[in-house]
Amino acid sequence: MFDPASLKYDANGLIPAIAQDVASGEVLMMAWMNAEAVARSLESGRVTYWSRSRAAFWVKGESSGHVQELVELRVDCDRDCLLVLVRQTGPACHTNRRSCFYTAIREGAEVVIAEPMAG
Amino acid sequence: MFDPASLKYDANGLIPAIAQDVASGEVLMMAWMNAEAVARSLESGRVTYWSRSRAAFWVKGESSGHVQELVELRVDCDRDCLLVLVRQTGPACHTNRRSCFYTAIREGAEVVIAEPMAG
């Protein structure tokens, strides 16, 4: 059986979790989980992070409706990073963009490469 | 102009960097950069991390030959996480697997979903 306590957490008890859109392969965001957030994500099928700023569990989309349905959780070789494959409803980013990684560095300058989603 | 110092680093001066295969979309690994590693990656076109265990710059593939050619560096909305799109030569993982995320949690158990690459 998989035990969330078997993962390697940082000094704050957190592990980075990368959310990837299972349909498009797009990397949507990176946020943090503690052991309980990992357990809740697996149990509920709703990706649940730990909000460092609010010091509270953060069921992604709970207030915005932009939920992440957990398709699969993967662990890396060092057991200190997670990849969550998700079905993302709407934008993952608080700026209303699909992905948080909408700024590219091109020829030494920052370029915005994605616009907020409509609606 | 983009300034690596404009990113948000943690208490150790590090920022997580997610490497994604630009051809397949596969998430290959996550490692850490400091501001100088970001600058070196952009200047050299070779993805360069900061090895926390060795406390040294880590030009990916320098010893193994499994280099990561930087195609594009992207910054997330909070400026505290990077996505590097790469052309990966051979395996990204030290276990000789293409990706470090080769362990999936399925029905509560850990399942190895990728084998080491041949050769």
What ipTM was predicted for this assembly? 0.97
β pairing state of A82-88 and A15-21 = parallel
Q: Do B110 and A29 count as a contact with CB atoms less than 8 A apart?
A: no
pLDDT at residue B119, as a whole number: 66
- Candidates A66, A83, A95, partner chain B, best to mutate (most B CBs within 10 A): A83
Per-residue pLDDT tens over the stretch B90-110: 999 999 999 999 999 999 999
Residues of A in contact with B101 (CB under 8 A): 74-76, 81, 83
β pairing state of A103-106 and A27-33 = unpaired
Tokens (6 digits) for A96: 């209303």
CB A114 within 8 A of CB A99: yes
Judged by DSSP in three states, A105 sits in strand
CB A99 within 8 A of CB A112: no
pLDDT at residue B107, as a whole number: 96
Instruction: Tell me how far apart the alpha carbons of residues B70 and B88 are, in angstroms, rounded to a whole number.
Output: 9
Domains and CATH numbers, chain A: 12-112 (3.10.20.810)
- Counting one residue from chain A and one from chain B, the pairs whose CB atoms sit within 8 A come to 100
Per-residue pLDDT tens over the stretch B18-65: 999 999 999 999 999 999 999 999 999 999 999 999 999 999 999 999
pLDDT at residue B118, as a whole number: 85
Judged by DSSP in three states, B60 sits in coil
Other C-beta atoms closer than 10 Å to the C-beta of A56 total 10
Q: How confident is the model at residue B114 (pLDDT cuts 50, 70, 90)?
A: very high
Q: Do B83 and A29 count as a contact with CB atoms less than 8 A apart?
A: no
Residues of A in contact with B26 (CB under 8 A): 25
Question: CB of A118 within 8 Å of any CB in chain B?
Answer: no
Whether residue A119 has pLDDT greater than 80: no
Per-residue pLDDT tens over the stretch A13-46: 999 999 999 999 999 999 999 999 999 999 999 9
Contacts of A93 (CB under 8 A, 6+ apart): A28, A29, A99, A100, A102, B77
Of residues A80, A54, A82, the one with CA closest to residue A68? A82
Instruction: Tell me how far apart the alpha carbons of residues B16 and B50 are, in angstroms, rounded to a whole number.
Output: 10
Q: What is A32-86 written as a DSSP string?
A: EE-HHHHHHHHHHSB-EEEETTTTEEEETTTTTS--EEEEEEEE-TTSS-EEEEE
Would you tell me which residues 35-74 of chain A have a C-beta closer than 8 angstroms to some C-beta of chain B?
42, 72-74
Closest chain B residue to A20, measured at CA: B27
Q: For residue A51, report the phi and psi dihedrals to the nearest 5 degrees.
A: -80, 115
